[in-house]
Amino acid sequence: MITDKRTLVVGNWKMHLTVHQASLLVHRLNQNIQLHRSVEVVLAPSMLSLQPTSQEIDRRKFGLAAQDAYYEDEGGYTGEVSFAMISGIVDYVIVGHSARRIYFGETLETVKHKVKAAVRNGIVPIICVGETKEERRAKQTKQVLHDQVTTAVMDLTSRDIEQVVIAYEPIWAISAYDGEAARPEDVEKAVKYIRFQIEELYGRKAAERIRVIYGGSVDDHSAKAFLRVDGVDGVLPGAASLNYRQFTGIVEAAYQVQTEIRAKDDKK
Ligand code: PEP
């Protein structure tokens, strides 16, 4: 990990919380989360809660992300909200989350257009990639990551690429609190492979600078193990981000791991 990078913690609230409930959670988070310069904390509420949340969050402590947006800037796309419409409100947008790919038929092409639209509108895309259980069993993880990563970033310049965040989210490990969890060694291998793809396309500097984070059943107990994995620059918790105690615990874990890594680097 390059230690001048801030650790990124992104809470994906998915399709949970009314505007009122979101506001209560923000109130708790404002009260409980400490400001750490080495940790960047981002909240991803529903589209409906984005605007009120943007006015309620302590901006020194929190950034804001949308969970999705549409790639055309405007037009007759009933029901959609564009990247252009949310630029100025959000810093990040989650793109290609497995829920979008599975339930809403998003293809590699769709994700590519969304990544491009995010960058065009000055928003950092958090590109989610990861294999299904079947693909893992069939030992296709590398092929899947290759296809997802290379298509998603295809239209980006070498300047754009360093801004992008890639989230490794193995689908079999999402919401798997009672099931099979990813092991740090699985995550390390996948993250290394993702950086290798970026290096092949954009060179070593870009591969080192791009932020790669992990998501899949991360909570306040497991966060440190994932954050200590070489090459992991942050975490993307879903369910645990809806609980202010757990989310606060994850942010504190990120701060402690950053402090450990910085102390080690200083001794070198
Ligand atoms: C997610 O939805 O991106 C996610 C990682 O969810 P969870 O942490 O609940 O597995």
Average pLDDT per consecutive 10 residues, the chain (268 residues; last block may be shorter): 80 98 98 96 98 96 98 98 97 98 97 98 98 96 98 96 96 85 95 98 96 97 97 98 98 96 84
Long-range contacts of 70-75 (CB under 8 A, 24+ apart): 70/114, 70/117, 71/110, 71/113, 71/114, 71/116, 71/117, 72/117, 73/117, 73/121
Confirm or reject: Cβ of 215 under 6 Å from ligand 1: yes
Look at the alpha carbons of 216, 223, 141, 168 in this order and tell me if their dihedral is positive or negative. Answer: positive
Provide the token pair at 145. Answer: 């990551």
- Supply the pLDDT for residue 176: 84
- Supply the pLDDT for residue 28: 98
Nearest in space to 131 (alpha carbons), one of 165, 99, 169 = 169
Distance 30 CA to ligand 1 centre (A): 22
Mutate to test the pocket of ligand 1, among 169, 213, 250 (most ligand atoms within 8 A of CB): 169
CA 140 to chain centre: 23
- Supply the pLDDT for residue 83: 98
- Supply the pLDDT for residue 3: 55
113 a catalytic residue: no
Nearest in space to 181 (alpha carbons), one of 148, 226, 211, 230 = 226
Reported as type and span, the H/E element at residue 203 is none
| Gyration radius from the chain CA atoms | 17
Confirm or reject: Cβ of 11 under 6 Å from ligand 1: no
97 a catalytic residue: yes
Between the CA of residue 49 and those of 43, 52, 219, what are the distances in Å? Answer: 11, 6, 23
Reduced to 3 states (helix: H, G, I; strand: E, B; else coil), residue 62 is strand
Confirm or reject: Cβ of 242 under 6 Å from ligand 1: no
Amino acid code (one letter) for 156 = L
Confirm or reject: Cβ of 130 under 6 Å from ligand 1: no
Q: Identify the active-site residue in 40, 106, 131, 169.
A: 169
Confirm or reject: Cβ of 174 under 6 Å from ligand 1: yes
Distance 175 CA to ligand 1 centre (A): 6
- Supply the pLDDT for residue 54: 97
Provide the token pair at 134. Answer: 């079947």
- Supply the pLDDT for residue 267: 81
Residue 240 phi/psi, 5-degree rounding, is: -65, -20
